[in-house]
Amino acid sequence: MRYCESPFFYHRRKTREVVIGDPARGGVIIGRGHPVVKQSMLTCDTMDTAESVKQTLDLVAVGCQLVRITAPTVKDAANLQNIVAELHKRGCFVPIVADIHFKPEAAMEAVKWVEVVRVNPGNYADSKKFATKEYTDEQYTAELKRIEEKFTPLVLECIRLKRCLRIGTNHGSLSDRIMNRYGDTPLGMVESALEFARICRKHKFHNFKFSMKSSNPKVMIECYRLLVARLEQEGPDWNYPIHLGVTEAGEGEDGRIKSAIGIGSLLCDGLGDTIRVSLTEDSPREIEVCTDLLNLVPKLTLSEGRVTRVPNSSGEKSLGLAELVPPNAFPFDPFHFERRETPEIELNENTKCGGEQLIRVVVTRATWDKVAAKIRPKDDVKPEAVYEDLNVAEINPTQDFEINCETQLVTVKDGVNLPAITAFRLLAAKLKRLGRDNPILLKDCLNPVVVSSLRLDSSAHSADATPLNPKIALLRASVVIGSLLADGIGDAILIRGEAGGGQSLRLAYNILQAAGCRSFKTDYVACPSCGRTLFNLQTVTARIKARTEHLKGVKIAIMGCIVNGPGEMADADFGYVGGAPGKINLYVGKQAIKFNIPEAEAVDRLVDLIKEHNKWVKPEMVKA
């Protein structure tokens, strides 16, 4: 199986064309080489027509091309008619996506008024009870027939009204039937979506796309890779477009890093036709990040037609990169995450890397000089080695090389005329061909340039050096380092694109935490707000963080409603979930422990629950 043409070259995945709305009046065409489309979601009550219209217009003004609105009930779905009518009166014809969970009757109402209906196979026709049950083949077939009876009417309406579907599975919200056969796995997510796709195809309906979302970027990446590989196995006419997103990414820097790792890495591999960055912030801010990610991809990728100049004994020789790649070399398993095996080595007298050691954070001498005086012995965020002091072999992977010692730390040499992701994958592939398992030091960029106070990115494969805004430095480092970590490549990392010493150090640790490689602080899984949300997510998230952000190694999920509740916060230790207006349910893992707690008391009760499970420590008092 394969999920892309090559892990070394950029090839945009070829998909069938899906038309959403009227392209002549604001609609979009996705797939078949059309530009990737940016999407976001409203945060208000769907019954509030005026606010829904206002938020839609605000999103369109900043470049949003698809607007998703939740429709949890038939009443909400019916009000989509009023929202769409008012938008059309104002000359706005942006396609609307109705988000449906649990209620097929709401989908049947929504499809009358909007261009796209999103269904989650895990709960569209199933009542999830987290039950354990063994299914015989006959029982499983009977369940599939029941699902077909529930889903087929929507498919037929989509055909009649020329609508589009998004078949979107979410990690943690799979049906009990799928869970019991496949587990809460990428394979389960893919098979769940394919079941619904087969029903569509049975009726010769092809106007749909897929999504595979998770709050864990590594899981999300595995899911999409497996989906694309399975679609290719099914046949050439299964080349449906896909929507990319990391669900419940959170807010601020953490939300952007998680989204950049998941979405950015897949975009760089040529996957993705629509994207959404899910932030616990005002929706227009999501579009800015989408735009920045899409603008970054050409700078981080290499097409097969590009040539690399390779010095040799007789002078320079122009080669296509295809000539440099070892035949049949794939430096990682794309469908099952496994960290690349390496020997353990010493970076310095205090720190080891490789083997089963943590992935280490290396800084330049310039960064060390800026931050060293501020580091306290107990600090979790601190440099673990200085680049200039390391015994590291700097290798140009476009050339032949030899490594005679497996305990030699290696990295890609600065100035190599390749994007960083390609260069490090090529290095790993060539080490594998040589039978070497040397630990690898990852870099976020191969051509750092600093001119006075101006940060410049003079990547060798781009014609001009351009100013590197800090927000772009964050996204680039997250895509490059995060992609490679998700491949299982890397034993230490070095961030140089962000010139601020303290900021570059913290960014390195935040990337490791988002990629699931280290845990130095509390991890939050927070959904973006929508019309289902039963409390103010931004305010409550800030309140919970203020009380708990010192709890290293604890993961807390903050979910606005039951839809994004016990399932989608799959691997969180504790959950704060909207159960009813003004009422909160508290979870330990997927198990609801406390019900209908008044919102005013809920954060205190969450802290009590953490204490009951011996996960609480007192915050250290910081001296002024």
The domain 523-612: what is its CATH number?
3.30.413.10
Three-state secondary structure call for residue 543: helix
The helix-helix angle for 284-300 and 470-486 (nearest 10°) equals: 70
% of the chain beyond a pLDDT of 70: 89
Give per-residue pLDDT as tens, 377-413: 888 899 999 999 999 999 999 998 999 888 899 999 9
Quick one: pLDDT at residue 132? 64
The domain 18-300: what is its CATH number?
3.20.20.20
Give per-residue pLDDT as tens, 511-556: 999 999 998 888 888 777 676 777 888 899 899 999 999 998 898 9
Give per-residue pLDDT as tens, 18-33: 999 999 999 999 999 9
DSSP codes, 590-604 = TEEEEEEEEHHHHHH
The secondary structure of 545-588, three-state, reads: HHHHCCCCCCEEEEECCCCCCCCCCCCCCEEEEEEECCEEEEEE
Q: What is the pTM of this model?
A: 0.90
Whether residue 83 is predicted with pLDDT greater than 80 in this model: the reply is yes
Residue count of the chain, please give it.
624
CA distances for 362 relative to 68, 392, 509, 514, angstroms = 42, 12, 10, 18
Give per-residue pLDDT as tens, 249-283: 778 899 999 999 999 999 999 999 999 999 989 99
Per-residue pLDDT, averaged over 463-490, amounts to 86
Q: Which helix (H) or strand (E) holds 217?
A: helix 217-234
Domain boundaries defined on the chain: 18-300, 338-514, 523-612
CA neighbor of 426 nearest in space, from 406, 452, 446: 446
Give per-residue pLDDT as tens, 218-236: 999 999 999 999 999 999 9
- Cβ atoms of 442 and 411 within 8 Å: the answer is yes
CA distances for 308 relative to 416, 425, 431, 457, angstroms = 9, 16, 20, 19
Per-residue pLDDT, averaged over 176-194, amounts to 90
